[in-house]
Amino acid sequence: MNSVRPQVVISQCIEGDAVRWDGGVIGSEFVARLKPHVDVIRVCPEIEIGLSVPRDPLRIIQEADQLRLIQPSTGLDFTVKMQSFTTSFLDGLPDVDGFILVHRSPTSALRDARIYPNRKLKVAHIGKGPGFFGRAVLERFPHLALEDVGRLRNSRIKAHFLTKLFVLTRFRHAQAGQMKDLIQFHTENKLLLKAYHQKEMRVLGRIVANPERKPLQELVANYQEHLFRALQRPPRCGSNINVLLNTLGYFSEQLTGPEKQFFLDSVEQYRAARLPLSVVINMLRLWQSKYQNRYLSNQTFFMPYPAPGLANHLFSLYDYTIGLHYSRRERNEPISQSW
Ligand code: SF4
């Protein structure tokens, strides 16, 4: 598990080169910490289509029923150039597991670039949507770990992104192997998948059991489809609690009554957003190491990101905030952005 390295496409201006329209760079502590643990593919689509630094900004303009990528100061239309670069760049990518792009950019945004009604410089925007490159990424790779660097300041979004990224990377390795690799992947991710989507986890279990003796290729394709569905949304608080209580059952013989009660009280505090999930998980990790439970020691639920430094850093932030979010947002509603 420790050897998997996600392949991530990251906008060139995030913790990278000064290629923004104004000659700037976007700082991101998260990306700076992530970089040593992943293989990074850099791209700045605006530089790739021949624009210089600095440059006058581009805008998305709604013309009739079409969106165009325009530089209002010059009137130049970069729509076709950008579309053709994007297609050839995405066609030429190796297998990748995720993208981190730039919010609000008319090129790179995944959801929140401004759309203007005409080419005038002084005009209010009429809506928001993905940038030209971002839209193509969403259409081509909707199942990958996709986020913009702005939203990655939100701890819950960050934790979901990282978990999904590393699960997809592990799956990419497993699917390139044999049946035993797929079975091992499923076994090690069982609790994590249960927390994410119990129904899909059961479907995945049936696929791996393969009662109809289907060929491996067909199984992998089927498994992948349901894995993508399972990972669509972050796990709910109630689902995490189910997994925690289920795991407690593995120690029912060894633990004393007061120890169990202390654990259950802690779970209730997590439910009430008074205790981070990491505290409850760490109790289980302690018992798991004390009582040498091999099945649990391989479960990614307890450590979804293989790189210890990365996980430790993000777990503390993630778990604290996630509890607060869960108490108010039990139904997985979108979380307001924190920037
Ligand atoms: S947001 Fe995208 S297009 Fe703009 S500078 Fe960054 S990488 Fe280049």
- 């949507």: which residue's tokens? 129
Spatial CB neighbours of 14, under 8 Å, sequence gap ≥ 6 = 25, 26, 28, 31, 100, 102, 149
Query: Stretch 268-279: mean pLDDT, rounded?
Result: 92
SS3 for 263?
Answer: helix
> Omega of the bond prior to 54 within 30 degrees of 0, cis?
yes
More confident: 334 or 169: 169
Counting atoms of ligand 1 from 1, which one is nearest the CA of 105? 1
Query: What is the best residue among 55, 89, 102, 103 to mutate for testing ligand 1's pocket, by most ligand atoms within 8 Å of CB?
Result: 102
Neighbours of 184 (CB within 10 A): 17
Query: Stretch 97-112: mean pLDDT, rounded?
Result: 98
**Residue 190 phi/psi, 5° resolution?**
-55, -50
Tokens of residue 94, six digits: 């190796």
Question: What pLDDT is stored for residue 305 in this prediction?
Answer: 80
Counting atoms of ligand 1 from 1, which one is nearest the CA of 13? 6
Question: What pLDDT is stored for residue 306 in this prediction?
Answer: 63
In DSSP notation, 272-311 reads: TTSS-HHHHHHHHHHHHHHTT-HHHHT-GGG--SS-HHHH
Question: What pLDDT is stored for residue 4 in this prediction?
Answer: 82
- 């129904």: which residue's tokens? 199
Query: What is the best residue among 105, 132, 137 to mutate for testing ligand 1's pocket, by most ligand atoms within 8 Å of CB?
Result: 105
Question: What pLDDT is stored for residue 278 in this prediction?
Answer: 84
User: Above pLDDT 90, what percent of the chain?
Assistant: 84
For 99-125, b where at least 16 C-beta lie within 10 A, e where not — what string? Answer: bbbbbebbbbbbbbbbebeebeeeeee
Q: How far is the CA of 11 from the centre of ligand 1 (A)?
A: 6
Exposed/middle/buried for residue 229 (C-beta within 10 Å: 0-12, 13-18, 19+):
middle
Question: What pLDDT is stored for residue 328 in this prediction?
Answer: 42
pLDDT category of residue 240 using cuts at 50, 70 and 90? very high
Q: How far is the CA of 229 from the centre of ligand 1 (A)?
A: 30
Query: How high does pLDDT run on average in the chain?
Result: 90
Tokens of residue 309, six digits: 């430094």
Question: What pLDDT is stored for residue 40 in this prediction?
Answer: 98
Question: What pLDDT is stored for residue 331 in this prediction?
Answer: 36
Exposed/middle/buried for residue 75 (C-beta within 10 Å: 0-12, 13-18, 19+):
exposed
Phi-psi category of residue 336: left, alpha or beta, with phi > 0 → left and psi -120 to 50 → alpha: beta
More confident: 4 or 22: 22
Nearest-angstrom CA–CA distance, 109 and 181: 36
Which amino acid, one-letter code, is at 111?
R
The residue contributing the CA closest to ligand 1 atom 4 is 20
pTM value is: 0.89
CB 28 within 8 A of CB 15: yes
For 255-274, b where at least 16 C-beta lie within 10 A, e where not — what string? Answer: beeeeeeebeebbeebbebe
Q: How far is the CA of 46 from the centre of ligand 1 (A)?
A: 6
How many angstroms separate the first and last alpha carbons of the chain?
Answer: 34
Nearest-angstrom CA–CA distance, 175 and 107: 33
Closest CA to 326 of 250, 258, 244: 244
The H or E element that residue 100 is part of is strand 98-101
Residues within 6 Å of ligand 1 by CB: 11-13, 19-20, 44-46, 102, 105, 107-108
Query: Stretch 291-301: mean pLDDT, rounded?
Result: 93
Query: Stretch 44-49: mean pLDDT, rounded?
Result: 98
Question: What pLDDT is stored for residue 257 in this prediction?
Answer: 97
Question: What pLDDT is stored for residue 125 in this prediction?
Answer: 97
